[in-house]
Amino acid sequence: MIPVQGYDGQKVAVLGLGRSGLATAAALEAGGAEPVCWDDSPEGRARAEAAGYACRDLTRPDAFDAIAALVVSPGIPHLYPKPNPVIAAAMAAGVPVDNDIGLFFRSWASAAFASYDSVPRTICVTGSNGKSTTTALIHHILREDGRPTQMAGNIGRGVLDLDPPEEGEVVVLELSSYQTDLARALTPDIAVFTNLSPDHLDRHGGMGGYFAAKRRLFAEGGPDRAVIGVDEPEGVYLANQIMMGRNDDRLIRVSSARKLGDWGWSVFARKGFLSEWRKGRQIASIDLREVTGLPGAHNHQNACAAYAATRALGVAPRVIEAAFHSFAGLPHRSQTVAEKRGIRWVNDSKATNVDSAAKALEAFSNIRWIAGGLGKDGGAGALSGHLGAVRKAYFIGHSARDFALELAPLEHEICETMEAAVAACARDAEAGDTVLLAPAAASFDQYPNFEKRGEHFTALVEALPG
């Protein structure tokens, strides 16, 4: 646990009592504060009370009397589409609002750091797609290099639930826009921006607000080194804002779309090969085509970002290359779950939007595509230009018929359920085909989350005859 500093003897309100909220309450208590908890659901309040924390109805007019700060869980809106009433009341009362990420950065350094020869460091990863894979890959490379490391944030543990860092340790955090948007302190040693595509626009008041939330990771405190994906205009802009000149190697540009120019430091992937360039000459190259845990151009972008971040810490290219090959990938993200009768079955249930589904569709050939669920604004029509490898689609869920209309004349079958789709793919697929679950839709019409959807797909595939 990371004890929260700066609130000793003070009352701090905690809104939202899920995993991060309860970890925040414990870390506040460990730092000498008195957590005052609230959740809109009786179940959340019951969890807090069972853990020994006092609950106070933060919707009462006098709720923020003698409260030093309000700490908010990431899923609770504080500005758009409209502020949660509790947050609005705290702001009206002049109470500072923060989240666990902000508390982590204000409390990360301890007195023990003064005795370390090698001070612990933090790497933070943000962006629209690929954050989890990039974060996990960085963590894996560091472990393979023998370095002490922990992983947390939007993946794995809550940040305040981490163990106090040991000498030379590197903590790798995945941060969503919900987490970067409100944190009052953001001071990573290395910050990574993967890419940007439309998502969570209602929460951020549009694309500009969404990008602004991501940009805060690079603007609030300023990392010692930044790794920026420059395949979208926002990444190009962000890189330009950070750099002091073309040869400024505090910035590492990353691309999976093109060879980068004569910059101070860049890492890019072309035709399946990763290249590192510094000051106009190539330093290293890695063949990514046979790295089974990182298929497709979108994963090659993740590989470039992870390579750049770990090279910035001095990890050798040969160590990184070996770690690429031993990386198994993450569940629900272009995850090969089985190969039966020459057919590859891939679970990319995390592809919940059009952009991430498009990247998955471009990563494989001879695709039997399972898609659908609870469609998002804009529909699936934007995928029309990414269907060249699709032999047939099998649509499920609430948006099945909408997808069929929007993607006509693609050959398809309306399956409705995952069971029917997997059975139809097993009936139709031939050796050399890839059955790809890349829904391009949310899961909430049939499943509580994308993980359960992917687990159901995997279980059905595993039950098929070999």
Residues at the binding site are 127-133
210's tokens = 């969404």
Where would I find the beta strands (DSSP E) of 248-389? 251-255, 265-270, 273-278, 281-287, 335-340, 343-347, 367-372
3 state DSSP class of 110: coil
Q: Which of 54, 70, 17 is nearest to 39 (CA)?
A: 17
Q: Using alpha carbons, select from 452, 434, 420, 263 the residue that is nearest to residue 350.
A: 452
Take residue 133 and report the two structure tokens written for it: 């894979």
Residue 286 in 3-state DSSP? strand
Assess contact for 68 and 60: CB atoms under 8 A. Answer: no
Which residues are part of a known binding site for ATP? Answer: 127-133
Residues 6+ apart with CB under 8 A from 63: 13, 56, 57, 86, 89
Place of tokens 């002091």: 244
Residue 57 contacts residue 38 (beta carbons within 8 Å): yes
- Range list of β-strands (E), 2-158: 11-15, 34-38, 54-55, 67-72, 97-98, 121-126, 149-153
